[in-house]
Amino acid sequence: MFAYLVRRLALMFVTLFGISVIIFVLLRVVPGNIVDILFDAAGFVDPADKANLEKELGLSQPIIVQYFNWISGLLRGDLGYSYVSEKPALQEILPRIPITAKLAGLALLFSTSIGIPLGIISAVHQGTRLDYTLRVVSLSGLSLPSFWLGLLILMASVSMFGTMPIFNPNPKTWTEAFAIYAVPALAVGFRFAALTMRITRSSMLEILRQDYIRTARAKGASETSVNYHHALKNAMLPVITVIGIEAAFLIGGLIVTETVFNIPGIARFLVEALRWRDYPIVQNLVMFIAVVVVFTNFVVDLLYAAIDPRIRFGD
């Protein structure tokens, strides 16, 4: 187990190094830079001013020097300055992380707490009206883009309650806080819940057809015991995998949701920073997301062993 952990950790660092190189190079390969965009706002490009600004921002240095400066800064905890706001990148990124984390956490909580039970119910009642209804709901969840669902929610909110949740960093009441985070989480979590439900259902159905389930039933175990004690635990492995992957991809869904609900989290900020080619913000944020994804995968791998004793990390 210890050797496995060390190997995985080493692999994590190699992966992160690779990602850092890819992010850095790709950002510079994409046409246009912050200087072009700043001059776009001015309506023309003056070559001399452009050269001065590139020098000021360190963009005229060789790419390898720029990369080294970034990584050495990162190791010292200095993420550089945002080219746009001219504030330290850390100061720009840090306050946005809890906002997105809360939103992502709530979306995950919502999707798993709805998706897993509904998936089980659908599998246990396979072929019934309830199963068909739940399958239709899950299909619609997978089909509805979250930005469209978000806009529908906002329109319904304005039409029914005469108001809509607009982000406020210091909500005064519990209901305001709920509206600010829970409604967008619902919009982004709905698709995720539908996916979780479908995976849970198909996984449960597969397990429920296994010989050992028939044996358990033959031995007189109750349906509840068969479903929840014998089947569910083994059916969870693919569900956890999907939750792990989807959690990593959640940031993609949040970009649209944060835009529609106007939430100043890191997902929307990343898109804006990319639009401005604000390299210090983009490369540090993407690195942060990469760390989260790699770490989530690591945790998922560890969870496999905890849930399924057949999996061992010896080899």
Interaction site with other proteins (CB under 8 A): 31-33, 36-46, 49, 52-53, 56, 82, 84-87, 92, 151, 154-155, 157-158, 162-164, 166, 259-262, 264, 268-269, 272, 275-277
User: To the nearest whole angstrom, how small is the minimum distance from the Cβ of residue 269 to other proteins?
Assistant: 6
Between 134 and 186, name the residue whose CB sits nearer to other proteins. 186
Query: Is 266 within 8 Å of 96 (Cβ atoms)?
Result: yes
Between 34 and 114, name the residue whose CB sits nearer to other proteins. 34
Count of CB atoms situated within 10 Å of the CB of 230: 19
Between 194 and 285, name the residue whose CB sits nearer to other proteins. 285
Structure tokens at 149: 């669902």
Between 38 and 103, name the residue whose CB sits nearer to other proteins. 38
Between 187 and 235, name the residue whose CB sits nearer to other proteins. 187
The rounded distance, in Å, linking the Cα atoms of 110 and 6 is: 34
Between 164 and 302, name the residue whose CB sits nearer to other proteins. 164
Structure tokens at 245: 């992957």
Distances (CA, A) of 110 to 105, 189, 194, 267, 297: 8, 6, 11, 19, 21
User: To the nearest whole angstrom, how small is the minimum distance from the Cβ of residue 46 to other proteins?
Assistant: 6
Cα 21 to chain centroid distance, Å, stands at 22
Q: Which residue has the tokens 């439900």?
A: 197
Beta bridge partners of 88: 81
User: To the nearest whole angstrom, how small is the minimum distance from the Cβ of residue 277 to other proteins?
Assistant: 6
The C-alpha torsion from 95 through 100 and 105 to 108, rounded to 10°, is -170
- Which residue, 104, 130, 108, 84, is CA-closest to 280? 84
The rounded distance, in Å, linking the Cα atoms of 154 and 261 is: 8
User: To the nearest whole angstrom, how small is the minimum distance from the Cβ of residue 282 to other proteins?
Assistant: 13
Between 10 and 166, name the residue whose CB sits nearer to other proteins. 166
User: To the nearest whole angstrom, how small is the minimum distance from the Cβ of residue 150 to other proteins?
Assistant: 9
Between 112 and 284, name the residue whose CB sits nearer to other proteins. 284
User: To the nearest whole angstrom, how small is the minimum distance from the Cβ of residue 292 to other proteins?
Assistant: 21
Between 42 and 75, name the residue whose CB sits nearer to other proteins. 42
Structure tokens at 59: 């963009």
The rounded distance, in Å, linking the Cα atoms of 105 and 99 is: 10
User: To the nearest whole angstrom, how small is the minimum distance from the Cβ of residue 192 to other proteins?
Assistant: 22
User: To the nearest whole angstrom, how small is the minimum distance from the Cβ of residue 30 to other proteins?
Assistant: 8
243-269: burial string, b at 16+ Cβ within 10 Å, e else: bbebbbebbebbbbbbbbbebebbbbb
Cα 151 to chain centroid distance, Å, stands at 20
The rounded distance, in Å, linking the Cα atoms of 44 and 190 is: 45
Residue type, 52: N
User: To the nearest whole angstrom, how small is the minimum distance from the Cβ of residue 175 to other proteins?
Assistant: 16
